[in-house]
Amino acid sequence: MADGTNFTQWFPPSTSDLPTRHSYPVQRTLNQNRPEFQRFSAAPAPQVQGQYTDDDSSYYAAPIFSNPPKPPLPPKTDNGSNNSSFASGPNPSGKGIQAWKQKNPFFSHRNGSVGYDPSAENFDGLVCTSKECANIAAFFAGNMNEKADPCVDFYEYACGNYPLTRELPPNKPLRHTIIDTQTLLHKQIKKLLEESPKKEDKPWDKLAKDYYAKCLDEDALVENGKPSLRSLLRKVGGWPVLEGRNWHEFEMNWEEYIAVVLNKTGVTAIIFELTVSHDPNNSSKTVLELDQPKFGIGSRWPYMGGINDSMVQNYTELMIQTAIRLGAKEEDARAEMLEAAELEVKLVDFSSDDTVRRDPDRSNNPFQLWQLKQQFPFVDFESFIERVFDGIVNISPNDTVIIRELDYFKGIQHVLKSSTKRAIANYVCWRIVQGFSAFLPPKDRDPFYEFKANQTGMFNVPIPDRWEDCVTLSCMLIDMPVGKLFVENYFSEKFAMPKMIEMTKYLKDTFIDQLNELDWMDSATRQRAIEKAHAIDYKSGYPPQIFNDTWMEQSWGFKPTTKTESLLALTIRVKLSRTTEELARFKQPVDRSFWYQSPAQVDAFYSPSSNEMIFPAGIMQFPFLSTGVPNYVLYSMIGVIISHEVSHAFDDQGGRYDEYGNLHDWWDVNTAEKFYDKAECFVQQYQAEKIREAGGQTLNGRLSLGENIADNAGLKTSFRAYKSWNQENSGFQEPALPGFQNFTADQVFFIAYANNWCSVMRPQHIVQLINTDVHAPGRFRATIPLRNRPEFSEAFGCAKGTPMNPEKKCAICSNFYRKDNLGFLAEMARFIASLLVLSLAMPSSSFLFGGSSCGCSARPACAPVAAPACAPVLAPACGGGFAAPAYPAPAAYPQQSYSAPAPVPLIPSQGGSYAQAPQPQFAPQPQVAPQPQFVPQPQGGSYAQPSFNVPPPPAPQGPSYEVQPSSLQYEQPAAAGETLREVEEEDSDSKPSSTTSAPTPGEVAEPVDIKQLNLTDDEECNSEDLRKIITENIDEDLNSSKRLIQLAAEAKFGGRFDVICSSQDFSYVTNTELFCQHTKETVSCYAYRQL
């Protein structure tokens, strides 16, 4: 047996009180390598009455049970009898099985098989014997710990053996059901891409295979990896730290410089991010969006600790080591990369947290291009945009630009104005190198793996196999050709597509029924919600264009690569072509018929700006969707995914959009208030959960509120939809799963639901997840929604008051949002942001099945093994993603904005190269009264005259700006901005030397001598000038207050200043000669100059 050979033996009929899977003899062949599986073939034994064998089904896999799991019995009644929910039906004969087969709507002839087992009383004795049923039964049985009490800890009962039967790879902090499916998909794609070219291969098939093969050739990377990257850097002016004194400062402004970088590299998000997106106010049109980018570490919170934060220090060392390996002198690398890191910290300080960014109204700040100069006097957006679109789209000063983060741009304009071009170029080139680090030779990628180890605490772990990176690279860059290969070879379209259509109908109808039942929703809001639910567009499987040769030739008909072309050069060539096509969609009508996601991914998405659901082919496979398995399994797995996403159409993001995808406030205030009262129940319920692996730390019920309600609503909707299907097909008896004959269909439904969330992770990873991810860990996603369902307690006979049947339950149909004068979202986000600011020392990250915020997000972050998160130039804004990153996504493995198992993205994907299809007819958009458009007439009269006969607004009187919470008003800001300007002017008069020349790398402005300052003996504030700076720059936004005070103080006094701002009590110990603490309303700030 040591050689792994198989043996056969006869498996006699069971004689126990609870029979095993079959009461008839079969021949068993054991697979020695997979003891949890057996392969059965039809035995040459006498036929047993009721047994059915399909001629096309020669074998099937089945779980091994010494005894089948015994479900708990419902509680006994007062007279001592079992109040059993196990319905007993007539004992079927062969005729009954034949009748079952004729009425079976989803068992195909190829896989359809059913047997008879008298112990399957709850299924009229019918047992499914297809290999698909056996496989899913083995999956559930292998994860199950039948010794656990399902009424005490159902996760342990359903998933307790998952860590025992799964190996957690040493280089991964987490593994779960979705990651397992993603791993399978990657292996499937690996097999396809490694196949030898065929005569019938299309050019785009060959492109995918050639790209993968070139990626695997690490000998070529050793030879041309670094030269190719240095060559790319020279195309954008060179990396100063490498060029040393030979670097020539770019003559253009920094805005045009990053436009050149975008046009030559395809990287769209370094200092800020540019996208072409749907107009929130008219989703049939496209607009430009400018937003804060994802930063090098990935998570925002480490930067809040400043340059001395341990993770930021590790990141800085990564920058230094990378520069040295590319040829920089160590002394130069340490000085200049420290300066670049300090610049990034300053930029991040003005950025907003993801919890705040969930409010779509907050990010909808439309301007005309010419108006931006008034709001941001030190950023030349016109030069940037005109340079980017030069030769692609004609840009007009009247074009609409949406600024998603007002505070970010108001703040960074001063940072960049005071930064040298050398510092900016060093930072930008570092982000390019980071983004394309996967194309470096193996030994030069080591610093990125070391950085990841420092972040995750996973040291001395093996580096991932190269094929894993190359599959991910191929899936992201060559997404549609790779998706086509996957669909052709692995997608069960004939079963999956009709089944998804059928299930979607029941789930949507059930969801609408639940809307009609809500007693807290007013009739007008209910009607609008129902109209939106009816209007949702469901896209399943794959975009049909991938099998249109004309379209594929236009989009993917690239000139074949050669042996001499480097991997990086091929990547840039493809990437730039796609970027150009995406930019060309600006000013074009939105084509809602097309997809912006590859079919080869394990995920699901909802896009509020399109009001559409997307279910790629990659998730429509085992275990979520399998042909030949009962509906009580399908509805609990893929059905829960669908209904989870449907609920996102009505959550705190999706609920702001109407049925056309327009950002439109259509909720009644009283209805929203009632919802908030119900939502608070979920907040308290999740916050009461303590995590033993995290030292008793509790979940953040507010951070994960949206996803928690989606999980609960998804389970409720899917279970009711299954019951609706069952009622409409009451004459049809579904069979039991093999080995689960003694369970009820409802019990297996809930077991299957929990199996969506089976996981194993390293303890040090959990603390990070619960502090930053908008999803609860898998254990709680499996159990808490079940605790809230009375149907679960009834199915397993859980007594009232047991852990899985608590007295108090939370229930809601779907997660709408509360709207009041302040705006619930903004209020809650500020609260969470303040908590994050006050707990910077606490480690954080992201977790299971959820990623940053949503399935595809308006700009999905997508970056290489150590890359900047960079988004497609055009992608629909998305609501929820069902799955999530597999681990925190630092620079070494940046987060993907929601790709199910977060497959360690390797390059900045740009969304896809899609030709414009004919525009479909849509419902009429709401009419908006035209607003006057003013364009100041430049010299030479090159701009069109304004269409309204009204005098243009006055030109701004000098630089005037502020950093305040976001506002939709376009008035000239004042207060803080004017103060800052005055401070700078005073400093210029009194000490010109501090501003006339920029500091050299690593240095700061010379401190003003303490003897020249008018200091007092006040123990709280020894400088009235510093107090004035604090007073005039403090506001409710703690981060902007801190940065404005720091900038103004350093401009006035020189040297380095540290600033602490809080709305709570705080203590500190400093060693300084210049300091001041001052309180304004509820915010206190303390500023001091370092010695």
DSSP per position, 400-459: EEEES-HHHHHHHHHHHHTS-HHHHHHHHHHHHHHHTGGGS-GGGGHHHHHHHHHHHT--
Neighbours of 217 (CB within 10 A): 15
CA distance 243 to 265: 19
Strand (E) or helix (H) holding 316: helix 310-325
Give the CA radius of gyration of the chain.
31
- 1010: three-class secondary structure by DSSP: helix
Give, as one character, the DSSP assignment of residue 775.
S
**Partners of 392 in the beta sheet?**
none
* Residue recorded with tokens 């006094």: 1053
Strand partners, 425: none
Query: Residue 554: exposed, middle, or buried by beta-carbon count in 10 A (0-12, 13-18, 19+)?
Result: middle
The sign of the torsion formed by the CA atoms of 860, 817, 403, 935 equals positive
CB 784 within 8 A of CB 665: no
Find all residues with CB under 8 Å of 154, minimum gap 6, and list them: 750, 754, 782, 783, 786, 792, 796, 804
CA dihedral 532, 533, 536, 542 (to 10 degrees): 160
Q: What is the DSSP pairing of strand 282-291 with strand 400-403?
A: parallel
Question: Is 200 among the residues known to form the active site?
Answer: no
CA 349 to chain centre: 22
Catalytic residue (choose from 711, 746, 1032, 1035): 711
Q: Which of 895, 688, 870, 897 is nearest to 291 (CA)?
A: 870
Task: Report d(CA 366, CA 389) in Å as an integer.
Answer: 19
- Length of the chain (residues): 1091
Reported as type and span, the H/E element at residue 1076 is: strand 1075-1080
Distance between CA 1011 and CA 886 in Å, rounded? 56
Q: Which of 503, 497, 508 is nearest to 542 (CA)?
A: 497
CA distances from 573 to 73, 553, 567, 582 (A): 64, 16, 10, 15
> DSSP state, 819?
-
Amino acid at position 213, single letter: A
Cα angle 935, 937, 943 (rounded to 5 degrees) comes to 70
Beta bridge partner(s), residue 540:
615
Q: Is 645 a catalytic residue?
A: yes
**Residue 655 near residue 817 (C-beta atoms within 8 A):** yes
Cis peptide upstream of residue 13 (ω within 30 degrees of 0): no
Write out the two tokens for 233.
């850097």
Number of alpha carbons in the 13 Å side-chain half-sphere of residue 499: 28
H helix count then E strand count, the chain: 36, 20
Question: What does the alpha-carbon distance between residue 585 and residue 392 come to, in Å, rounded to a whole number?
Answer: 9
527's enclosing H/E stretch is helix 523-535
| Active-site position among 468, 479, 645, 962 | 645
Contacts of 66 (CB under 8 A, 6+ apart): none
- Residue 274 CA to residue 267 CA, distance in Å, equals 10
Do residues 775 and 848 lie in contact, with contact meaning Cβ atoms separated by under 8 Å?
yes
C-alpha torsion sign, points 958, 963, 969, 974: negative
E runs forming strands in 688-774 = 690-691, 697-698, 759-761
DSSP symbol at 881? B
Q: What six digits make up the tokens of 146?
A: 């039948």
User: Catalytic amino acids?
Assistant: 645, 711
